[in-house]
Amino acid sequence: MKTEKCNTLAEARKKIDEVDEEIVKLIAKRNNYIKQIAHFKTSVTEVKAEERIEDVISRVRQQAIDLDLSPNLINDLYVRMIDAMVESEIEEFNNAKSF
Ligand SMILES: C=C(O[C@@H]1C=C(C(=O)O)C=C[C@H]1O)C(=O)O
């Protein structure tokens, strides 16, 4: 992973702002795929797919370890994010069913 060396506080903050912009775009992209997935499912239990959540969390925890990042931090962020995305998937699922 390429991280540039910054020489000032302002420069480092600008880099952080750029990274944040990318993170939010990627989260929006992830959420768009989540909404598509809703259309391939037939029940709310299937929407929730607990075993898939465990797989995703386990994979990102390992990736955090590989990148020398706290696995617990990534775990907590993902639990919160997936929770919200499952809500958005359920909403999409219920809307699709009502057509
Ligand atoms: C996207 C899916 O649906 C839900 C959302 C998940 C996620 O945000 O990664 C994982 C499992 C499901 O709770 C899926 O089944 O893959």
Q: What residues contact 20, with CB distance under 8 A and at least 6 apart?
A: none
Ligand 1: distance of its center to the CA of 3 in Å? 31
* Domain ranges, ordered by start, for the chain: 13-97
pLDDT at 88 over 80: yes
47 burial class (0-12, 13-18, 19+ CB within 10 angstroms)?
Answer: buried
| Cα→Cα distances 44→55, 75, 87, Å | 19, 24, 10
| Cα→Cα distances 69→14, 26, 54, 91, 97, Å | 22, 19, 19, 33, 41
Does the ipTM surpass 0.95? yes
Nearest ligand 1 atom to the CA of 48 is: 13
Confidence grade of residue 99 (pLDDT, cut at 50, 70, 90)? low
- Cα separation, 59 vs 65, in Å, equals 10
Is the CB of 15 inside a 6 Å radius of any atom of ligand 1? no
The class level of CATH for 13-97 reads mainly alpha
Is the CB of 57 inside a 6 Å radius of any atom of ligand 1? no
Mean pLDDT of the region 35-58:
95
